[in-house]
Amino acid sequence: MLNLDASLIYRIPALLFTITVHEYAHGAMSASLGDPTPESDGRLTMNPLAHLDMIGSLMLVLVGFGWAKPVRVDPRYYPNPREGMLKVAFAGPASNLFVTFLAMFLQLFLARYFNAGRGVLLFLNWLMLYNVWFAFFNLIPIPPMDGYKVLQTALPLDKALAYERMVGPYTNLILIILCFTGIVGLVINPLSTLYLQLCRGILALFLF
């Protein structure tokens, strides 16, 4: 079993890619709907430094769940603001779920047909795990998480604003408590396991 210092060699690059692809997907989707804000803020980039939230990144390393610096978007540019916000909110988690599937495919394919080295397979394993955790964690309905943005489109405006005022100031504290008490894992881990099993089932049809 790897110790923490050795595992960080693989975990940090996997973490940075996970965060970057998630936030880039948000920005790219918003830009595709006519919003110039992500590009003007410098968020249409695969440079991880543009997307890091230090507390969220630390949580992801320590407990497996975390968050990035949210991409600022302006739904007033969208042809249909309500539909546009749903697309932008789902773009991040969807990109992570796609990377999860791709990482599992590469891991199985390279191990089976190319006898890939242990380091490559460990990196792909962490990439797979971080992306599936990040996808489902970000669907928690707490601002500014993607799950809240989905909830926001489903609630009447006054109720959405009231909910944000109630929990918004305590977002980081709530997330830290959820992570360190293990409560979030009771929901995220079964969903992640189910998705990984689904991916394995699909890939087994083609690789074995």
Residue 42 gets which letter from DSSP? Answer: T
Q: Report whether pLDDT(84) > 90.
A: yes
149-165: average pLDDT? 83
Using the CB atoms, write b or e for 55-84: b if 16+ within 10 Å. Answer: ebbebbeebbbbbbbbbebebeebeeeeeb
Residue 96 in tokens: 């992570």
Alpha-carbon gap, residue 17 to 9, rounded angstroms: 13
- Please compute, for residue 154, the number of CA atoms within 13 A of its CA located in the half-sphere on the CB side: 8
- The residue behind tokens 């394919």 is 109
Give residues with Cβ within 8 angstroms of 140, minimum separation 6: 147, 148, 175, 178, 184
Model pLDDT, residue 63 = 66
Q: How confident is the model at residue 197 (pLDDT cuts 50, 70, 90)?
A: very high
Q: Give the model confidence (pLDDT) of 100-111 as tens digits.
A: 999 999 999 998
Q: Give the model confidence (pLDDT) of 21-62 as tens digits.
A: 999 999 999 999 999 999 999 999 998 888 888 777 777 667
Q: Report whether pLDDT(149) > 50.
A: yes
Q: How confident is the model at residue 122 (pLDDT cuts 50, 70, 90)?
A: very high
Question: Could you give the 3-state DSSP secondary structure of residue 170?
Answer: helix
Helix 81-113 with 146-154: angle, nearest 10 deg: 140
Alpha-carbon gap, residue 190 to 88, rounded angstroms: 25
Q: Report whether pLDDT(5) > 70.
A: no
Q: Report whether pLDDT(160) > 70.
A: yes
Question: Could you give the 3-state DSSP secondary structure of residue 76?
Answer: helix
Q: In 64-115, where does DSSP find H-type helix?
A: 81-113
Model pLDDT, residue 60 = 66
Model pLDDT, residue 26 = 96
Q: Report whether pLDDT(11) > 80.
A: yes
The answer to whether the CB of 151 falls within 8 A of the CB of 160 is yes
116 compared with 92, residue with greater pLDDT: 92
Model pLDDT, residue 176 = 77
Conformational region of residue 64, where left means phi above 0, alpha means psi within -120 to 50, and beta covers everything else: left
pTM of the model: 0.86
- Mean pLDDT over all residues of the chain? 87
Angle, alpha carbons 49-187-9 (nearest 5°): 35
